[in-house]
Amino acid sequence: MENQKVLILDFGGQYNQLIARRVRECSVYCEVKPYDLPIEEIRRFDPIGIIFTGGPSSVYEAGSPHPDPEIFRLGLPILGICYGCQLLSHHLGGQVTAAQADSAREYGKTPTRFDADCRLFRGLPEESVTWMSHGDYMAKVPEGFRLVARSEACPTVGICDEERGFYGVQFHPEVNHTEYGREMLRNFLYGVCGAKGDWTMSDYKREAIQAVRAKVGGGKVLLALSGGVDSSVAAALLAEAVGSQLSCVFVDHGLMRKNEGDEVEAAFSRWNINFVRVNAEERFLRRLAGVTEPEDKRKIIGEEFIRVFEQEAKKIGAVDYLAQGTIYPDVIESGRGDAAVIKSHHNVGGLPDYVDFKEIIEPLRMLFKDEVRQLGRELGLPEYLVTRQPFPGPGLGIRVIGEITREKLDMLREADYIFRDEVARAGLAGTMSQYFAALTNMRSVGVMGDGRTYDYAVALRSVQTSDFMTADWSRIPYELLDKVSVRIVNEVRGVNRVLYDITSKPPATVEFE
């Protein structure tokens, strides 16, 4: 039986992925589509409701994005968020203008009052904090709508026409700063759209396995297994679906964390698949010798990975399908049509031309990262693999600042292991979004025992984030930092100093290179 679906129309807002994640957290399936999705495609999608996202434009400007007006005659509930709220007003007879006074523009946390009789706010406090980000103002609301939320600066923070199921809010219920935002979205999904909550990961696993089997039949599948969460979960799903018809090429480039290669190999020993581990450390280190520029390192590692994978694929012979661990944020961020391209992903934009295959398979294409982890657990992957820290494609190659050598990699592996080990011992592993060590290119004078040292400094990095677009540095207890520092300096030969990075993103990035 097909899941109920909610359609999210993208008008260029920065929180669009977050809206989709919040909807799915309510056990309701949704997809993000371009704002100009044709009406016939919307009908084929058959949603139980529609959400208009925010966006940077003004609805009254020439060239600003607008949906087909027919969408308001489909008889479907609609929730407009920020720009989406202004679209509702603009298209249905209201008036939206630029705020004439600075006081009418609202940004950041804002005390807001609500009409608890409105289904969107039913069961919630009559006053709470919301997150505003708008410079336009609804000077007139459409006929049939009533005002259901207001702030000190703006009387038109929330509007609704409950007979038609149209709701609009100027704030962002999807962000954590809006105190009861998740509950408001849940009210829309269940109280307005009639959602049943039929989106579960066990159902997804069963349906995805059936879909892969139906597509592949008796064919052969090839997957480049990096050892990261996405490719590992994709490999486990494919292994469940087609077993020995799957070949996984695991390129161990020598730039992984301590014990990681062995852990990946052990995790897949339970399945009857063709698991090929290629120990290519020497080859990568030769190519990287003397290279110091981060972008050069990235390109060399990426190109060498492809070359090694190509060689192994030729040994395997003809395959019918190439599999990839593409996930939903990759698809959204890569952009489609008029959507802005935030970043390009090698596994979305173009297909390799060095492997002869009929078609590409991306079994995780519609999942967010937290959903991928849930699926990994459903498939029986070990927790150390499912909860693995985010890891860049070039691996430790961009956490060793400057030239890469085996000696530096070994130092970094040990220091990083100690940091992660102490965080786990302190019971804080689940409280930080990402944490790791980097080996700086700085050497400094130190004293160990009665001798003078001139050794490297290790930098520790830990951040808190919901989307990795922005991130704040973690307030790690001093006692924990002290333990980590003492262990690294005592146990890692060649390191005499430990630093902690307290820079947020922006202006910094999460990784050092």
Tell me the catalytic residues.
82, 172, 174
Nearest of 47, 43, 88 to residue 66 by alpha carbon: 88
42 Cβ neighbours under 8 A, 6+ residues apart:
7, 50, 71, 74
Using the structure block, give the residue that is written with the tokens 């990994």.
Answer: 376
- Residue 247: phi and psi, rounded to 5, are -115, 125
Q: Residue 441 CA to chain centroid, in angstroms?
A: 30
89-93 long-range contacts (CB < 8 A, ≥24 apart) are: 89/59, 89/138, 89/140, 89/141, 89/142, 89/145, 89/159, 89/168, 90/59, 90/60, 91/66, 92/142, 92/143, 92/144, 92/145, 92/161, 92/166, 93/142, 93/143
265, 298, 478 from 255: Cα distances, Å: 16, 12, 30
Using the structure block, give the residue that is written with the tokens 């972008």.
Answer: 295
- Residue 171: phi and psi, rounded to 5, are -95, 180
393 Cβ neighbours under 8 A, 6+ residues apart:
226, 298, 301, 302, 305
CA dihedral of residues 39, 40, 41, 46 (deg, nearest 10): 90
Tokens of residue 446, six digits = 């130190």
- Residue 279: phi and psi, rounded to 5, are -85, 100
